[in-house]
Amino acid sequence: MNDLSELFWQASLDEIKQGYLYQKQTDEFVCLICGKSFANGVIYPHQEQLYAARKYIAIHIAEQHHSTFEVLINLDKKLTGLTDHQKIILELFYQGHADNEIAKTLNTGSTSTIRNHRFSLREKQKQAKVFLAIMELLGEQIPKKQTFIDIPRSSKMVDDRFAITEEENKKILSTCFKQGLSGPLTLFPLKEKKRVAILRHLLTNFELGKTYTEKEVNSILQQFYPDYVLLRRYLIDYGFMDRTQDGSSYWVRN
């Protein structure tokens, strides 16, 4: 599985490790591997037992995908950065084999070689943490050129997709809001830059410093597009708005 969904890339590290996430807007648990969803509150039967959705999606992952580890380890090298040899060693580590057993399996003849592999993989883990921290800091350093559209400094997905000139912004909005900027939205495009332009425009319908209920947010967005849940989710995902953990309050991010 190398064609990962956008939902996978938006998931937290803990959610990726468990293989699923909870979507509050739909009240469902969604498998990050295949996209199958299980409604919260529904009881699912399995082998003469009944399970709540959270428990059942773990069973689904174990039965359909074996384990999240197996899925991740078998991703393409361009996604994992691991060689085939490293993948084999990691699988043996995951299965709990001792260094001398792994040495025999790989016919290396030396446990010290396996210990060296453990060390190099731990170093790779440290490098990955440092690189992640660097990229997050980079994301917080937003360009301040006046020729580009300003966006919230807290945005979670800041990169060159946000580099939109005023001219580009007007062209995108005129294409997507054919009846005028007051709506309706003709379509919600796939291209990131167009989405950003639309979301930024939608944000102008909310007051900075004001707190909104989910119902109020839905009411405003519904004027522009039937799938207001989609718009609300992207306003959060792209960092234009924030909300409380229970989803009871929403506000524009500074």
Predicted confidence at residue 167, as pLDDT, reads 80
pLDDT band at 148, cuts 50/70/90?
very low
Predicted confidence at residue 141, as pLDDT, reads 61
Residues of the chain within CATH 1.10.10 domain(s) are: 82-140, 160-252
Predicted confidence at residue 197, as pLDDT, reads 85
pLDDT band at 164, cuts 50/70/90?
low
CB 50 within 8 A of CB 61: no
DSSP state string for 41-71: T-EEEETTEEEEHHHHHHHHHHHHHS-HHHH
Q: What value does the mean pLDDT take over residues 99-104?
A: 91
User: Residue holding tokens 């007007």?
Assistant: 170
Whether the upstream peptide bond of residue 184 has omega within 30° of 0, thus cis, is: yes
Indicate the fold that domain 82-140 takes in CATH.
Answer: Arc Repressor Mutant, subunit A (1.10.10)
Q: Report the percentage of the chain scoring pLDDT > 70.
A: 87
Predicted confidence at residue 151, as pLDDT, reads 45
Predicted confidence at residue 160, as pLDDT, reads 52
250 beta partners: 212, 243
Specify the range with the lowest mean pLDDT, choosing from 86-90, 163-167, 244-248. Answer: 163-167
What does the mean pLDDT of the chain come to?
A: 83
Report field, pTM of the whole predicted structure over 0.75: no
Q: Which of 117, 193, 197 shows the shortest CA–CA distance to 161?
A: 193
Predicted confidence at residue 152, as pLDDT, reads 45
The Cα 202–Cα 204 span in angstroms is: 5
Indicate the fold that domain 160-252 takes in CATH.
Answer: Arc Repressor Mutant, subunit A (1.10.10)
